[in-house]
Amino acid sequence: MKDKVIVITGASSGIGAAVAELAVQRGARVVLAARREDQLAGLAAKLGDRAVAVATDVTRRADNEALRDRAIAAFGQIDVFVANAGRGITRMPSELTDEDVDQMMAVNFKSVLYGIQAVLPHFKQRKRGHIVAVSSGLARFAFTPVRSAYSASKAAVNLLVASLRGELRAEFPEIWASTVMPGVVATEFGNNALGGGMDSAKLPGAQPVGEVAEIIADLIEKPRAEVYTRPQMRELAARYFSAEDVTEIEKGFGFPPPPR
């Protein structure tokens, strides 16, 4: 990872901030992107001259393009683009409004699409690069129905990135496209969910954010297509997608909905 230039969206806190800190520790240079300018500036100051903060609304295509340009102006190139920005929701499928769905798709799916389309010409010119989309275990398993639109938007991310791999495979084999699927992580995710939610850090078995950052950093150093941050999820995926009928498996999910 030494001297790689890594752009990280959603970098003001949580997984994004943890990845940025670890990347700098391993010798990378980072471009931090998020809407919260004060928090970005504080993290950039902490990381020193190997970090640049760029206020970015990832739901806007033009902001993603400006982020790419700022990163190249600051460090001369981009080696890795980590599309990490995202937001949850607390709504049953029957309760979803048009606004709910539009916001989930804009923040969780379109932001990834815009980031890919912004950075891909640069990667193609260099004939190498790495796109890392931070998805979710909820893209594969509907553990709790109140995350319905979030799960759907993250499932769309998984298939977008898989389709990108298919597009690039023959002509650009050195441009990697990866998805990372965390479970519950001890971050502000639950508190920031649209419609409110439980504090993710207080949920049983929440994974420390540092562990997830380590997995993403290892993925950057040794690229592969998909990574679950917990081996139990990979094992569940093997059972779930090979089952003739997933009904019994789904009955065992049983995550309670957050209190209203």
- Contact 5/71 with Cβ under 8 angstroms? yes
pLDDT in the model for residue 258: 45
Q: What is the pLDDT of residues 4-35, one digit of tens each?
A: 999 999 999 999 999 999 999 999 999 999 99
> pTM to 2 decimals?
0.94
Q: What is the pLDDT at residue 228? A: 96
Please report how many Cα atoms fall inside a 13 Å half-sphere around the Cα of residue 201, on the Cβ side: 8
Residue 259: its pLDDT value, please? 39
Active-site residue among 114, 150, 228, 240?
150
Taking residues 136-161, report their average pLDDT.
95
Contact 37, 10 (CB under 8 A): no
260 pLDDT higher than 90 = no
Q: Is 174 within 8 Å of 223 (Cβ atoms)?
A: no
Domains of the chain: 5-251 (3.40.50.720)
For residue 150, indicate whether it is catalytic: yes
Question: What does the pLDDT look like over 59-113, one tens digit per residue?
Answer: 999 999 999 999 999 999 999 999 999 999 999 999 999 999 999 999 999 999 9
